[in-house]
Amino acid sequence: MAIHKSFKMLFFVMLISLAIAFAWDKVPIISNSANIILNPTAGALLGWNLTYGMLVIVFIINIIITLIHKKFTDQETLKEIKKEQKALQQEMKLVRDDPAKVMELNKKQMAKMPLIFEASMRPLMYTAIPFIIFFRWFNDFFSAPALEGFRFFGFFTWFWFYLIASIIFSSILRKALKVA
């Protein structure tokens, strides 16, 4: 029952996120509100230095996301499930020549997936809408005529720079903060 309720809530949040993304250009109050908040903060960092400013912004976003993830997930359950998954993978390596045993272990591993999904989706409900707003704002910021053709390190668009930096920072922060 709790999973069903969580799926409904996640679906609702995702619908709102999509509505914001699609209405960004059509409903000026959405983009104007984001600009009022983000131009003097994130915009100021990017105005100072595009590369370093973007790194600071990505780092701050990842700190917030990591802390939300740590706060709103059952860390002990996730760690236990991951430990069980690792043990199953080790066992699968030992019996890889026995297809029936591998299939049985694979089923056990797949049975844990809904638990991992349920435990991990809760933070998404708190971060999806701000994430969409940031991405739409980044798109507008880097689409400005003054930045036309700008590439980080000569070849990364803002999206790819954000993605790569986010993966790096997320990995470091999750390890440092012991987030499952």
User: CA 170 to CA 164: how far, in whole Å?
Assistant: 10
Q: Which residue has 């690792």 as its token pair?
A: 86
State residue 61's pLDDT score.
96
User: CA 109 to CA 81: how far, in whole Å?
Assistant: 9
Give the burial class of 57: count Cβ atoms within 10 A of its Cβ; 0-12 exposed, 13-18 middle, 19 or more buried: buried
State residue 142's pLDDT score.
94
State residue 157's pLDDT score.
94
Q: Which residue has 């999904």 as its token pair?
A: 117
State residue 2's pLDDT score.
53
Q: What is the pLDDT along the chain (180 residues), one digit of tens a residue?
A: 455 677 788 888 889 999 999 999 999 999 999 999 999 999 999 999 999 999 999 999 999 999 999 998 888 888 888 888 888 888 888 887 878 877 887 887 787 777 777 777 778 888 999 999 999 999 999 999 999 889 999 999 999 999 999 999 999 999 999 887
User: CA 16 to CA 37: how far, in whole Å?
Assistant: 20
State residue 1's pLDDT score.
47
Contact (CB, 8 A) for 94 and 56: no
Single-letter code of the amino acid located at 42: A
Q: From 138, 158, 133, 143, select the one nearest 33 (Cα to Cα).
A: 133
State residue 7's pLDDT score.
76
Structural domain boundaries in the chain: 2-176
Contact (CB, 8 A) for 60 and 134: no
